[in-house]
């Protein structure tokens, strides 16, 4: 929630240009592409909440600018996957710019977790009434609103664990959606032919054990989100009772997409396809007309400059790669003809016991020996999305120098890699755009020819 007084318009669909938690969240906080904030994956060695992150990008994240604008700031929930580790400051490390800090140590949990509460450890158990994290987040946010100074604006960032694993729904929701299963359309249970080697490994068609596994995950994810629905309702009602609802922007989105059975991959993210890189973005606030949808692309790197734009910060003074989507040119799709998607794969140095036949270098191996990530699942893509073109061109950093190209106008589910059918001059142009995007900084990310 961002309390402010500006007019805006309905906003488009969001692309988290890296399909993984920590790099995406780091981009939300900084407004920068991963190659500029240098958080590559969810590990400390990949700079997730590392000392390098804390000394550099975190010290220039958007909450600092809000604080300078006299905003009262509040954070609760999951921050970054490696936050709170002893080797990088433990719970005493509170990122600058936050007045109230209630951050989860480590990755998503619903019970039996530790919070850093303004730099002090607070341990929680397994009592629904006292400890269920989604409910705790909203309860503390309501208390913050009660205690705030009415003389200054406020900003809250609520980051619940849902719908992340381990998928522990509130007791009253654990029997919901018993007849729901993952959608069977598009690329569900399809063979990943003509794709990067990792996508050619899964058994196709999927065995019943994998399908039952992913259906169960899909249902449990929905169950956990019912508590998020409650959180949104309580927050909106609170703002209304304070007579601040019409003067407050509410952004509702996520950090990455997710797949359940697409190309026979049971569950995870980390892939370059739409199901992992494209997510909804909903915004309400002053001047926004209800029930409108725009298709122009917005990126995670646009959230920070948009929030700062609302707060009155001069964006020319801020080091960001993104741009405010308060700007009409971005909302109508004319300001960004193409953009970057990039990911650095993770793997184990030794063979995974769950999948010995595929050897070392893999990770995220699920039932039936389907591994969803690898060191060489490292890629960069240029995505073109405007009124004329809907294309994706991707290059892998692997021994094959593998390339994937999709025309999403004719093939929205990315079933056919058309790299061998495309005019070589188009491939060359896309390659040159990709090279520029991979080295862009600030203005050059927004003004690629």
pLDDT at 141 over 70: yes
DSSP-derived letter for residue 326 is: T
> Which residue did the predictor score with more confidence, 368 or 165?
165
User: CA of 37: how far to CAs of 41, 206, 301, in Å?
Assistant: 12, 38, 11
pLDDT tens per residue across span 107-127:
999 999 999 999 999 999 999
pLDDT at 55 over 80: yes
Q: For all residues of the chain together, what is the average pLDDT? A: 93
Residues 106 and 166: their CA atoms lie apart, in Å, by 13
pLDDT value of position 330: 64
Calculate helix-pair angle for 133-147, 208-241, nearest 10 degrees: 20
pLDDT at 12 over 60: no
Residues 123 and 130: their CA atoms lie apart, in Å, by 11
Note if 21 is an active site residue. Answer: yes
Burial 1-10 (b: 16+ CB within 10 A, else e): bbbbeeebbb
pLDDT tens per residue across span 25-47:
999 999 999 999 999 999 999 99
pLDDT value of position 10: 41
DSSP-derived letter for residue 150 is: T
Residues 157 and 77: their CA atoms lie apart, in Å, by 9
pLDDT value of position 269: 97
Residues 73 and 99: their CA atoms lie apart, in Å, by 5
Burial 329-356 (b: 16+ CB within 10 A, else e): ebbebebbbbbbbbbbbbbbeeebeebe
The region that residue 47 occupies, defined by phi over 0 for left and psi between -120 and 50 for alpha, beta otherwise, is left
Contact 27, 18 (CB under 8 A): yes
Contact 361, 48 (CB under 8 A): no
Q: Quick one: which of 122, 84, 108 has its CA closest to 162?
A: 108
12 forms beta bridges with 294
The token pair at 292 is 């409108």
Residues 33 and 61: their CA atoms lie apart, in Å, by 13
Instruction: Please list the helix, strand and coil fractions of the chain in percent, rounded to the nearest 5, in that order.
Output: 30, 20, 50
Confidence of residue 247 (pLDDT cuts 50, 70, 90): very high
pLDDT value of position 352: 84
Residues 286 and 290: their CA atoms lie apart, in Å, by 11
Contact 163, 221 (CB under 8 A): yes
pLDDT value of position 4: 43
pLDDT tens per residue across span 178-203:
999 999 999 999 999 999 999 999 99
78 forms beta bridges with 104
pLDDT at 3 over 70: no
Q: What is the mean pLDDT of residues 344-370?
A: 88
The token pair at 136 is 């705790």
Which is catalytic among the residues 1, 2, 5, 21?
21
For the purposes of burial, counting CB atoms within 10 Å of the CB of 434, is it exposed (0-12), middle (13-18) or buried (19 or more)? buried
pLDDT at 351 over 50: yes
pTM above 0.85, yes or no: yes
pLDDT tens per residue across span 56-103:
999 999 999 999 999 999 999 999 999 999 999 999 999 999 999 999
The token pair at 8 is 């805006």
């Amino acid at each position: 929630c961002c309390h402010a007084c500006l007019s805006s318009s309905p906003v488009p669909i969001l692309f988290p240009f890296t399909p993984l938690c920590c790099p995406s969240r780091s981009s939300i906080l900084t407004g920068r592409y991963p190659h500029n904030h240098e958080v590559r994956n969810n590990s400390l060695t990949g700079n997730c909440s590392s000392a390098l992150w804390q000394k550099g990008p975190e010290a220039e994240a958007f909450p600092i600018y809000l604080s300078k604008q006299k905003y009262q700031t509040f954070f609760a929930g999951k921050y970054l996957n490696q936050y709170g580790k002893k080797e990088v400051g433990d719970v005493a490390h509170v990122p600058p710019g936050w007045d109230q800090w209630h951050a989860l140590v480590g990755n998503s949990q619903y019970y039996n977790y530790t919070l850093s509460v303004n730099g002090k450890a607070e341990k929680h158990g397994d009592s629904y009434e006292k400890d269920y994290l989604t409910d705790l987040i909203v309860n503390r946010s309501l208390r913050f609103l009660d205690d705030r100074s009415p003389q200054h604006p406020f900003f809250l960032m609520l980051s619940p664990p849902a719908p992340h694993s381990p998928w522990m729904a509130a007791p009253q929701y654990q029997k919901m959606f018993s007849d729901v299963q993952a959608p069977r359309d598009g690329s569900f249970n399809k063979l990943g032919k003509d794709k990067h080697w990792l996508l050619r490994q899964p058994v196709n068609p999927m065995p019943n054990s994998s399908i039952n596994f992913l259906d169960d995950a899909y249902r449990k994810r929905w169950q956990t989100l019912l508590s998020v629905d409650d959180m949104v309702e309580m927050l909106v009602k609170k703002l209304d009772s304070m007579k601040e609802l019409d003067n407050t922007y509410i952004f509702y989105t996520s950090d990455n997409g997710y797949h359940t059975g697409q190309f026979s991959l049971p569950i995870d993210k980390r892939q370059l396809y739409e199901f992992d890189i494209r997510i909804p973005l909903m915004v309400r606030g002053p001047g926004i007309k209800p029930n409108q949808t725009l298709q122009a692309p917005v990126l995670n790197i646009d959230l920070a400059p948009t929030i700062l734009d609302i707060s009155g910060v001069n964006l020319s003074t801020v080091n960001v790669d993104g741009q405010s989507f308060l700007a009409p040119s971005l909302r109508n799709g004319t300001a960004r003809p193409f953009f970057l998607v990039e990911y650095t794969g993770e793997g184990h140095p030794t063979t995974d016991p769950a999948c010995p036949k595929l050897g070392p270098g893999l990770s995220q191996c699920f039932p039936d020996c389907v591994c969803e990530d690898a060191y060489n699942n490292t890629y960069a893509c240029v995505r073109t999305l405007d009124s004329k073109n809907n294309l994706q061109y991707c290059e892998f950093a692997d021994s094959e120098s593998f390339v994937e190209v999709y025309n999403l106008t004719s093939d929205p589910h990315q079933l056919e890699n058309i790299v061998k059918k495309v005019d070589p001059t188009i491939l060359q142009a896309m390659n040159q755009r990709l090279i520029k995007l991979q080295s862009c900084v600030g203005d050059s990310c927004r003004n690629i020819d």
